[in-house]
Structure 1
């Protein structure tokens, strides 16, 4: 059972536009990073935000439609599950009802001092991110 979604508006800048007149595909990764980080910063307790950092392990992007300079775009993400130090997010980038891109990504939580992988406390996962208790199945298990 995934958590509720979290969304942010995306501001498209002139430097985001490539030679074909639409947003360069690489910018989508920046948007995914922005929404995932802001999701963590908004929901996690301050001590967790201060003591942890995130690194991307994998992104799988399906591009559906191009985005353009004047578009109103949002990035909406859902934390699907946490497994040890890994978190699995599903992010959709939309313009109105049009899906521009879908991104499945895997992130590793690290201790911000040691830079070593660090598990997310189960109480934090349950209390702040709405993930089910460990004895209840999650999506994909």
Structure 2
């Protein structure tokens, strides 16, 4: 309707990046013992993504404290940051 990607899709991208990252780093034993849950998402929308834009998504775990961690996801279009999410 507004000629840009709906915000709910950004959140799905954040979730997908986190899941793929976890799957790369985890093992079947870890998956049997532990699960991760979201306590909070913060997303800063800096620029709009539009249909058919090619985007790049990267993620990293920035801080770990006890059983909690903070994950950063950056969404870029043509090397320009369009959204940044922090998930606890």
Give, in whole Å, the separation in 1 of the partners of 2:64 and 2:26: 14
Shift of the alpha carbon at 1:49? 2.3
Matched residues, number: 88
CA-based RMSD = 1.2
Q: Work out which of the residue numbers 10, 17, 24 in structure 2 matches 1:28.
A: 10
| Gap runs ≥5 in structure 2 | none
Give, in whole Å, the separation in 1 of the partners of 2:65 and 2:16: 22
> Radius of gyration: which is bigger?
1
1:13-69: per-residue Cα shift (whole Å, max 9, x none)? xxxxxx111100121111111101110111122211233222111111110111111
Structure 1 stretches (4+) deviating beyond 3 angstroms? none
Give the match for residue 72 of structure 2.
Answer: 90
Shift of the alpha carbon at 1:81? 2.1
| Gap runs ≥5 in structure 1 | 1-18, 107-141
Give, in whole Å, the separation in 1 of the partners of 2:40 and 2:20: 19
Give the match for residue 86 of structure 2.
Answer: 104
Instruction: State TM-score, norm by structure 1.
Output: 0.58
